[in-house]
Structure 1
Amino acid sequence: MTAITRSRVSELDLPYEGLSGAATADFNRDGFAHLSRVLSPETIAEYEPTITSEVIRLNTQHLPLAERDTYGKAFLQVTNLWQHSDTVRELVFSRRLAKIAADLLGVHAVRLYHDQALYKEPSGGITPWHADQYYWPLSSDRCLTLWLPLQETPPEMGPLAFARGSHNFSHGRDLPISDASEAHLKQALAEQDFEDVVAPYALGDASFHRGWTFHHAGPNHSSVPRRVMTVIYLDADIRVAEPTNDNQIADRQWMPGTPVGRIPDTPLNPVLYDAGHA
């Protein structure tokens, strides 16, 4: 093992010192938290090339941008990269990141739902307004998504943006990500005076947002891809719920073989942090 590898693994295992009680309170109030220096630029630089090469290798979207629908123009999407690369697995299984998720959710332990690389290509379009949990057949809202950019992400690259406090807004939760969700939610959230929070991400910044927090992203006006790695964490005691739409039926593949009403304790859903075994 090289010195660089020892350094990067140790950071992924060390607690993050930037999570204050105020940040947790803000997360509970706002439905998201944008945190600084979650990982060092050096650590990001160690993982980005492997993640990017795996996205290129595993990507199945080959239509030109002009021939895609709005969802297809938003980003290239590759799921569960950790199954294809031991290097990516180190990042996805990071105790540092999982502990932040557990602390924000206020739970003793979290397990993996799945990871996703989301690469918004140069001239890639908007990511429409939506809430992730529309897709998840889960018994509670104790779940969140880590959004980790792999480069500095200024406004022109389309950083993730959130409707502050919208995790408490039940209207529009039946909408998949689409042109319809963009139009309907944009209007509904504005009518309710939810603040649209858009901020650049420095290298090493990351955000965490609840499953029902409405969010979106602008187009990528830069000449390079907006490269992002995401990880979805679940309360380790969460249970599979009866699906309420076809997308939730499909999403049960990420918890294979788990019956409704049971905890998804499968090889694809390991516990990544448990305060009782810290």
Structure 2
Amino acid sequence: MNKTDFDIIPDRDSIGSQQREIGFVATHNDSPQLLTTEQVDRWNADGYLGPLDVYDSGAISEIREYFDQLLAETFAEGKDSYSISSAHLKHAPVWDLLTNERTVSFVADLLGENVIGWGSHFFCKMPGDGKRVDWHQDCSYWPLTPTKAVTVWLAIDDADAENGCMEVFAGSHKHGLIDFKASDSNAGNVLDQTVEHPEQYGTHRLTPLRAGQISIHSDLLLHGSSPNVSDRRRCGLTLRYCPADVHAYLGWNQKGVVVRGVADPAEWPGAPRPS
């Protein structure tokens, strides 16, 4: 499998045929490094945590300038603003964002000291593009077991209600795998599935972030976002992590990076930093 193959999401039958343990695993950490014990408790209750400060204004400006260049190159290739996926396997600056020590320390407070970074995908809503992300759980797309993976959402631009910030149903991560139906991407959904009546599973929250801040959410949390109705871009970089004891099917372990601690090289051989 080459690097570009990871841009393709496995079909539901491929994921559904794998033996997976599905259920939220609570964090027990009495001495977190960066988080407080109250934040850890909130994580267990909500399946979401944020905002958390990672990059100052100068650093995120440099990151944004890099993304601007990457996006221009992507458009020149005839691709859209949502197509920059598995970017850490292709672009060294994204690999550096995935392995950022402060980001990883937040994640390690929730997942433990042996952490794998395995995913990176830009979700960039251009002004007025009409695209939305319907309600979904990340775990329905990922051939990983058990369901202990998390997503870090790094705000490249300021994200708010007007330009389509992420929305969550806090507490929905406690319901296991929630039934969903197929969704037509031509109807404006960036993804291909949607959960109906999500309000029965948790409490709705908007999750605005300033550029340079992150949020973290469980792979079982129901989340989505509305279209960007503003004249401002809304770009976020999703960085995916899991503990080293998680097993990846379908060759997905080949894109993992050991970002903290150690891992069995037979399970997670370690993707190198691209040149």
| 2:97 paired with 1:91 | yes
**Which residue is equivalent to 2:73?**
57
2:172 equivalent among 166, 173, 188: 166
Matches within 5 A, 1:80-119: 80-105=86-111, 107-119=112-124
Evaluate the alpha carbon distance shift between residue 129 and residue 84 of structure 1 in structure 2; reply closer, same or farther with a 3 A threshold: same
Distance in 1 of aligned mates of 2:104 and 2:179: 26
Bigger helix share: 1
Moved over 3 A (4+): 58-63, 173-182
Evaluate the alpha carbon distance shift between residue 111 and residue 191 of structure 1 in structure 2; reply closer, same or farther with a 3 A threshold: closer
Deviation at 1:81, TM superposition (A): 2.0
Post-superposition Cα deviations, 1:171-230, rounded to whole Å, max 9, x if no partner, equal 534546656844xx341x2234x2111032122221111111110111101123211111
**Which residue is equivalent to 2:236?**
228
Evaluate the alpha carbon distance shift between residue 18 and residue 40 of structure 1 in structure 2; reply closer, same or farther with a 3 A threshold: farther
Contact preservation (8 Å) 1:139, 1:239: yes
SS at match of 2:162: helix
- Provide the alpha-carbon RMSD of the alignment: 2.7
Distance in 2 of aligned mates of 1:147 and 1:163: 16
Post-superposition Cα deviations, 1:124-183, rounded to whole Å, max 9, x if no partner, equal 32210011110111111211011111121121011111101111113534546656844x
One-letter amino acid of the structure 1 residue matched with residue 261 of structure 2: D
Distance in 2 of aligned mates of 1:24 and 1:132: 21
Distance in 2 of aligned mates of 1:232 and 1:173: 23
| 2:128 paired with 1:123 | yes
**Which residue is equivalent to 1:11?**
none
Contact preservation (8 Å) 1:147, 1:208: yes
Evaluate the alpha carbon distance shift between residue 26 and residue 122 of structure 1 in structure 2; reply closer, same or farther with a 3 A threshold: same
Post-superposition Cα deviations, 1:80-101, rounded to whole Å, max 9, x if no partner, equal 2223332222212212212211
Contact preservation (8 Å) 1:134, 1:175: no
Distance in 1 of aligned mates of 2:83 and 2:104: 22
**Which residue is equivalent to 2:158?**
152
**Which residue is equivalent to 2:271?**
none
Distance in 2 of aligned mates of 1:77 and 1:177: 18
| 2:272 paired with 1:272 | no
Residue correspondences, number: 225
Matches within 5 A, 1:1-278: 19-58=35-74, 62=78, 76-105=82-111, 107-124=112-129, 125-170=131-176, 172-173=178-179, 175=181, 181-182=193-194, 185-187=195-197, 189-192=198-201, 194-241=202-249, 252=250, 255=252, 264=253, 266=254, 268-274=255-261
SS at match of 2:248: coil
Distance in 2 of aligned mates of 1:136 and 1:166: 18
Evaluate the alpha carbon distance shift between residue 236 and residue 171 of structure 1 in structure 2; reply closer, same or farther with a 3 A threshold: closer
**TM-score, structure 2 normalization:** 0.73
Unpaired segments ≥5 residues, structure 2: 1-31, 264-275
One-letter amino acid of the structure 1 residue matched with residue 114 of structure 2: A
Contact preservation (8 Å) 2:89, 2:95: yes
Deviation at 1:28, TM superposition (A): 1.2
Distance in 2 of aligned mates of 1:169 and 1:140: 15
